[in-house]
Structures are given as structure tokens and as C-alpha cells.
Amino acid sequence: MLERFRHFWTNLFRPISHVLMKWGVSPDTVTIVGTVGVVAGALGFFPRGQLFVGVLVVTAFVFSDLIDGYMARTLGTSSRWGAFLDSTLDRIGDAAIFAGLAVWFFGAGDDDLLAYVALWALVMGSVTSYARAKAESLGMQAKGGIAERADRLVAVLAMTGLSDLFDLPVLLTVTLWALAVASTITVVQRIVLVRRQALSDPAEPR
């Protein structure tokens, strides 16, 4: 759903992209620095209960995902390596966000159940991405579903920040449960989609 806003944010950060290119910064460097920033923000602040500050730090680095892609296209350096690196590091960044929340709930947050819910959302988010990658490697497609990566990322960051800012932990509780359920449904949707494609392929053994 939120992918439709990708073009808007890319244009917004275009000046920064051109400054980085002028300085000779490579898209891969932006990708790596962005991931390090996300991981540091999530694991450095969330486990200590500094959720709002953590969200600000993570959000600042999340936008590197748009900047590196624009830089690669503009420089004509888009490659399979760049796509692989970007996708792989995205998984690391996403994992750090949910893991940081889980550590908080296992510790001072004192809610083991919600910690497990955060971990389940983490796992299902990773499986969602894996299902698409595996389907594409087999010549099929498995894009879509009710909870794609952009939706999950915006939801968890926005509600984590607001829950801390306004001291309304229920916002984060509801969001984590919703993401856990929605991510699970998305995995099922992609499995069904690939199954239909496989059954419609006359070369596929029954």
C-alpha cells in the first residue's frame, strides 16, 4: 500500500543524493551506513526503553534505502550485487527493530507475551520476503499481500514512537499483534499465489 509514496520520498531526498554523488560516495556505502544506523538505533535505544529517541534515529537512517536506489539508477551502476546487498541488509535492519522491542519487553518492559509477538512478527516478516525471493528464483512471482515491508516498517516505527511520546503503550501492543497476524496472512497469501501459478503451468508435474 505505502509503496505508492515511494516516488514522493525519493524526490524529496533527491538533493541529498546528488550531494553524496558529488562527494564520490557510492550507493553501496549509503546502503551499509544506513543499515548500521538502523541497527545501532534499534538495539541501542529500544532495549533501554528509549523508544521515541530510537524511532527518530532509525527513521533518519531508513531513508537511505531510497537514496541508494536513486543514486544507483542515476549513476547507471544498478547491478545484481547492489540489489542483493540492499535486500539482504534490509532484512538485518528489520530484524534489529523487532529484536530491540523484544529485548525491551523481555526486560524492563515486563511483557514476555508481547516480546514473543514481536519475535513472531519478525519471523513472519522475514518469511514474507523469502517467499517472494524464492518464487522469483523459480520463475514465478509472489509480490503483494496485506502487509508488505513498507507497511510493516511504517506501522511499527510510527506506533512505537507515539506510544512512548504520549505514554500510551496500548498503541504498540495493538500494532505488534496486528503486524504478527497481518504478516502471517501475507505469508499464506503468497504461498497460495505461488501454488496457483505452479498448478497452471503445464510443465509442472502434478
The number of domains in the chain is 1
Question: pLDDT tens digit string along 144-176?
Answer: 888 888 889 999 999 999 999 999 999 999 999
CATH number at residue 164: 1.20.120.1760
What is the average pLDDT value for the chain, to the nearest integer? 90
Length of the chain, please?
206
In a domain, 206, yes or no: no
Distance separating alpha carbons of residues 104 and 206, to the nearest angstrom? 48
pLDDT tens readout for residues 45-84: 999 999 999 999 999 898 888 888 888 888 887 788 988 9
- Residue among 175, 177, 183 nearest 51 (CA): 175
- Any catalytic annotation for residue 164? no
Q: Would you say residue 106 lies in a domain?
A: yes
Would you say residue 100 lies in a domain? yes
- pLDDT score, position 83: 86
Q: What percent of the chain lies above the pLDDT cut of 90? A: 66
pLDDT tens-digit readout, 19-49: 888 898 888 999 999 999 999 999 999 999 9
Contacts of 139 (CB under 8 A, 6+ apart): none
Residue 205 lies in a domain: no
Residue 156 within any structural domain of the chain:
yes
Instruction: Band the pLDDT of 119: cuts 50, 70, 90.
Output: very high
Structure-block grid coordinates of residue 41: 538505533
What are the distances in angstroms from CA 103 to CA 5, 36, 111, 197?
A: 31, 19, 10, 40
Task: Supply the pLDDT for residue 181.
Answer: 97
Domain residues for the domain of 191 are: 2-200
**What's the pTM?**
0.89
Q: Which of these, 164, 159, 98, 94, lies nearest to 129 by C-alpha position?
A: 94
Q: Which of 90, 94, 151, 164 is catalytic?
A: 90
